Structure 1
Amino acid sequence: MSKSYVVEVENLTKTFSGKEVIKQCDMHVTEGTIYGFLGANGAGKTTVFKLLSGLLTPTMGEVYVLGKEVSSQRHSILAEIGTLIETPLFYEHLSATENLKIHLAYMAKDHGDIASVLSKVGLPHTGAQPVSEFSLGMRQRLAIARAIIHQPRLLILDEPVNGLDPVGIREMRELFLDLVINEQMTILISSHILSEMEQVADEIGVIVDGQIIEEVPLSSIQQQFPNGLEPYFFDLMSGGK
């Protein structure tokens, strides 16, 4: 495991019912950066995230997160990562604050500035309101709050701005950049909103049919494709590279 990589994956393969859904993937996420993970629906992004988080076990290959092998050291990694993968689940009858308190206890963290984090994600005055009354956008904000409340070193975020309006998307963009710059987090993020990826990502990884086919600095893409990520992405999808 290279010291500069927070995530390092070699020859990662995952098979379900005899079918390879992740195929010999290599991935490298540099410490202190935002890695934008792109791919069409069904390409394997969420499965990769679950493998990195220890929610799934690889069929083959090596997965290192924060210098530790995930399959054998998952429990020692958990408190150092924050995740938002698929639809977030909460204790519906409890408030946002109570949900975050439970998460901190689960992570064995005896501190966490819940009020500050709720303010950062745009939920400063939810009080005793139960999560069952939250809108889709509010639930997504709470999921992001839960991912960062224990101050992880690595965030793994699968479509984190789903359900947010344009104002909310901009607020989360600013939050992600702040977390990297001021709280020394590293972020691995997937999104279908390519324009958002252009504004936050340092590196881009692209997965096609279960295989990561390219990892490249965003600056290199911008030099070759001055009109942005969209022409780059569709060029890859069409086999142009």
Structure 2
Amino acid sequence: MSTTDVVVIKNLTKTFDGREVIKRFDMTVKAGEIYGFLGANGAGKTTVLKLINGLSSKTFGDIKVLDQDISTHRETLLKNIGSVIEVPVFYEHLSAYANLAIHLAYLGISSDRQIKELVEAALERVGLPDTGNQAVSKFSLGMRQRLGIARAIVHKPKLLLLDEPINGLDPLGIREVRELLISLSQNDGVTIIISSHILNEIEHIADKIGVIVDGRIVEEVTLSEIREKFPEGLEDYFFDMMTGKNNKEI
């Protein structure tokens, strides 16, 4: 795995209505790494992902993606970022194929042949082959989630931001997405930041864990280091962090 830092955040602060919801936040994610982003509801995980993607603007601090400031290079960086943040929204009356084609056109890909190749490959990879002509309005919740992931990877991004990506998936779908993410990381070199409440899934795939409490990172640690201290697994570590039993200042 490369040691190149794909995401570097320093002293990030975000204020809403005069209240700091993200405060003195630091994060480092290396190339090809799967970074499990953990925290309680309302801790600020979704807000941070939106800030990395440029969907929200920082109050102050530094956010660099691929060594460029997201605030000043968002248009360029979006071609290298894929994301599923909150509930995926689609053009309901259009087909799955058309939704992905529109996304590619937005990113500047206009060749019909290239669009066809990219869309078909993405649908195949997320387990939605032969659904391209079907209207999204007919999709189940699980199919919509898969389509959201397809849209996030269709342009072959270098960075993937995933906020609860397995919501609505059955056990088979969860396993398939797990295998997809591992493949994207190991075979395609994609860097992934994934937030999920299903700790067992994070434990299956993550290289490193970052824990956010009350708007700031309180620890970044490799999964192997966690296993040394918590043989029973990630759940014990997470609850230890949340209850403050490890004596860290949170």
TM class, shorter-length: over 0.9
Structure 1: give runs of 5+ residues left out of the alignment: none
Structure 1 residue matching 2:87: 3-state secondary structure: coil
Q: Distance in 1 between matches of 2:188 and 2:4?
A: 17
Q: Does 1:164 align with 2:169?
A: yes
Q: CA separation in 2, counterparts of 1:122 and 1:73?
A: 33
The CA deviation at 1:73 is 1.1
Per mean C-alpha deviation after superposition, the further-off stretch among 120-129 and 15-24 is 120-129
Decide which of 208, 214, 217 is 1:212's aligned counterpart: 217
1: CA distance between counterparts of 2:119 and 2:72?
31
Report if the CA contact (8 A) 2:35-2:208 is conserved: yes
Paired positions, count:
239
Aligned to 2:34: 34
Question: Post-superposition shift, 1:125?
Answer: 1.9
Q: Give the SS at the match of 1:72.
A: helix
What SS is found at the alignment partner of 1:13?
Answer: strand
**Residue matched to 2:101:** 101
RMSD: 0.9
Partner of 1:45: 45
Aligned partners of 2:53, 2:231: CA distance in 1, in Å?
A: 35
1:230 counterpart (218, 230, 235) = 235
TM-score by length of 2: 0.94
Q: Percent identity?
A: 61
Quick check: 1:144 aligned with 2:149? yes
Does the residue aligned with 1:61 lie in a helix, a strand or coil?
A: strand
Q: Distance in 1 between matches of 2:132 and 2:75?
A: 32
- Partner of 2:84 in structure 1? 84
> Aligned partner of 1:133: which letter?
K
Structure 1 stretch 138-147 or stretch 51-60: which is displaced more?
A: 51-60
Residues 38, 212 of structure 2: 8 Å contact kept:
yes
**Corresponding letter in the other structure for 1:84:** V
Tell me how far apart the structure 2 counterparts of residues 30 and 228 of structure 1 sit (CA, whole Å). 23
- What is the letter of the counterpart of residue 239 of structure 1? G
Once the two structures are TM-superposed, the CA of residue 127 in structure 1 deviates from its matched residue by 4.0
- Alpha-carbon distance between aligned partners in 2 of 1:9 and 1:116, rounded to the nearest angstrom: 33
Q: Are 1:182 and 2:179 an aligned pair?
A: no
The CA distance in 1 between the partners of 2:55 and 2:125, in whole Å, is 28
The residue matched to 2:133 in structure 1 has which SS?
coil
Provide the C-alpha distance between the structure 1 equivalents of 2:177 and 2:202, rounded to a whole number of angstroms: 12
Is 1:6 matched with 2:6?
yes
> For residues 102-127 of structure 1, what are the alpha-carbon distances to aligned partners after superposition, in whole Å with 9 as ceiling and x for unaligned?
11101112434211211111111214
Cα deviation code 1:176-204 (max 9, x no counterpart): 00111111111010000100001100000
Give the aligned partner of residue 131 of structure 2.
126
SS at match of 1:46: helix
Describe the superposition over 1:143-169 as per-residue Cα deviations: whole angstroms up to 9, x where unpaired.
000000000000001010011011000
- Residue pair 2:123, 2:132 contacting (<8 A) in 1 also: no
After the TM superposition, which of the residue ranges 168-177 and 68-77 deviates more from structure 2?
Answer: 68-77
Greater than 3 Å deviation, 4+ residue runs: none
Matches of 2:162 and 2:107 in 1, distance apart?
18
Q: Does 1:72 pair with 2:72?
A: yes
